[in-house]
């Protein structure tokens, strides 16, 4: 139970901090559209986090009929109809050029993540939803981080952070992600896969599956067909699955990768462990491009995000689709019921 709920004294819709991301990317626009969309208001209450001036400009370029109301603390938000409350940082002005790397924009993006994370750690919001940032901009602003995940890990003192995709209820995990495919194959060892299985099963439990059923994807065609088409299944995956199953974890596999996602979407599994970026990305984004949500697992706070970038090429045009952002917002609202489990599983002294 978070503080604002205690204060309210009755069950309310979850409260989510939504960062604007890079002020000159599409983040402010998709945040404005998401928080102005009445269909999303049925799922949760959103508090924008960033610069009020930047959000006002986004509302304007999107042609939205909503008012932006700056607040100094989450507790001041009122969620009045036709209004978007924004925790105002007062860093970036409204006249930064769209779609250009900018140190002030980077500073604003970093500050929004920090403010949203603080609010979540303090229990002032039930979770955070993040808009895309630009690496070069945050570096220009003095940040050393590679992106959101590293930053959030440090801010919360998390020991180990993973990405989990959620698409149509199926949860997809990754043994490796941002590696060249050849390097990924070298990286996939029995020990790493066994570790990924443990992390995935824990995540499934934390995110609502009391008796998790995880399937491990194969790597080679037809699951290697008994070693005819590669031996990773025999040498790496089967021993890792056997080890995890012997520990009592609900895991099966390797299952041929061209069937396992179909079976998962049919409800046969709660989660699928894929082994490289596109192996998990392809099924999710092909089945539901806009509905694929990224959840950061391992933080003591709930965080969802879009998986796309700042789209500098169309920023400021009002053309950016807020489909994925809406999905990320709704997913966070749904997972807010897991907030206590998330804190219990991933909370650390260092992070609080």
**178 forms part of the interface with a copy of itself (CB under 8 A):** yes
**172 forms part of the interface with a copy of itself (CB under 8 A):** no
Instruction: CB nearer to a copy of itself: give 44 or 291.
Output: 291
**257 forms part of the interface with a copy of itself (CB under 8 A):** yes
Instruction: CB nearer to a copy of itself: give 95 or 266.
Output: 266
Instruction: CB nearer to a copy of itself: give 279 or 310.
Output: 279
Query: Tokens in use for 254?
Result: 């390797």
User: Which residues have C-beta within 8 Å of that of residue 135, sequence separation ≥ 6?
Assistant: 146, 147
**262 forms part of the interface with a copy of itself (CB under 8 A):** yes
Residue choice 220, 296, 310, 324 for contact with a copy of itself (CB under 8 A): 220
**166 forms part of the interface with a copy of itself (CB under 8 A):** no
- Work out the number of other CB atoms within 10 angstroms of the CB of residue 243: 17
3 state SS of 190: helix
Residue choice 289, 314, 318, 323 for contact with a copy of itself (CB under 8 A): 289
Query: Tokens in use for 320?
Result: 């950016």
Query: Tokens in use for 44?
Result: 């949760």
**282 forms part of the interface with a copy of itself (CB under 8 A):** yes
The DSSP-derived string for 94-137 is TTPPTTS--HHHHHHHHHHHHHHHHHHHTTSSSEEEE----HHH
**192 forms part of the interface with a copy of itself (CB under 8 A):** no
Q: Which stretch binds a copy of itself (CB under 8 A): 80-88, 99-107, 223-231, 239-247?
A: 223-231
Phi then psi for 205, rounded to 5 degrees?
-65, -45
**177 forms part of the interface with a copy of itself (CB under 8 A):** yes
- Please give the size of the binding site for a copy of itself, defined by CB under 8 A: 36
As measured in angstroms, the least distance from the Cβ of 184 to a copy of itself is 8
Q: In the block, which residue shows the tokens 């309310």?
A: 12
Cα dihedral 104, 110, 115, 119, rounded to 10, equals 160
Separation between Cα atoms, residue 237 and residue 242, nearest integer Å: 8
Query: Which residues sit at the interface with a copy of itself, rule CB under 8 A?
Result: 177-183, 185, 219-222, 224, 229-232, 256-259, 261-262, 265, 276-279, 281-287, 289
């Amino acid at each position: 139970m978070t503080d604002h709920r205690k204060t309210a004294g009755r069950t309310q819709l979850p409260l989510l901090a939504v960062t604007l991301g890079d002020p000159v990317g599409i983040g402010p626009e998709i945040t404005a559209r998401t928080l102005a969309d009445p269909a999303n208001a049925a799922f949760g209450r959103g508090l924008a986090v960033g610069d009020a001036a930047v959000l006002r400009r986004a509302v304007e370029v999107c042609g939205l009929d909503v008012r932006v109301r700056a607040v100094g603390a989450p507790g001041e938000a009122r969620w009045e109809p036709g209004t978007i409350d924004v925790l105002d940082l007062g860093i970036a002005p409204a006249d930064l050029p769209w779609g250009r790397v900018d140190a002030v924009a980077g500073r604003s993006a970093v500050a929004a993540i920090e403010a949203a994370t603080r609010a979540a750690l303090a229990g002032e919001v039930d979770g955070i939803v993040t808009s895309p940032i630009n690496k070069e901009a945050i570096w220009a602003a003095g940040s050393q981080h590679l992106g959101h995940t590293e930053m959030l890990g440090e801010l919360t003192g998390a020991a180990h952070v993973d990405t989990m995709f959620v698409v149509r209820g199926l949860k997809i995990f990754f043994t490796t992600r941002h590696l060249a495919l050849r390097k990924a194959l070298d990286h996939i060892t029995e020990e790493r896969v066994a570790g990924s299985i443990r992390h995935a099963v824990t995540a499934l439990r934390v995110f609502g599956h009391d008796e998790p059923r995880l399937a491990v994807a194969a790597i080679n065609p037809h699951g290697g067909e008994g070693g005819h088409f590669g031996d990773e299944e025999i040498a790496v995956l089967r021993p890792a699955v056997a080890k995890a199953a012997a520990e009592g974890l609900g895991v099966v596999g390797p299952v041929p990768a061209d069937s396992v996602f179909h079976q998962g979407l049919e409800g046969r599994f709660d989660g699928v462990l894929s082994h490289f970026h596109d192996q998990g990305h392809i099924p999710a984004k092909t089945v539901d491009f806009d509905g694929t949500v990224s959840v950061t697992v391992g933080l003591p706070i709930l965080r969802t995000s879009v998986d796309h970038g700042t789209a500098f090429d169309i920023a400021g045009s009002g053309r950016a689709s807020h489909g994925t952002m809406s999905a990320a917002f709704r997913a966070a609202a749904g997972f807010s019921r897991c907030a206590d489990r998330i804190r219990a599983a991933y909370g650390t002294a260092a992070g609080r």
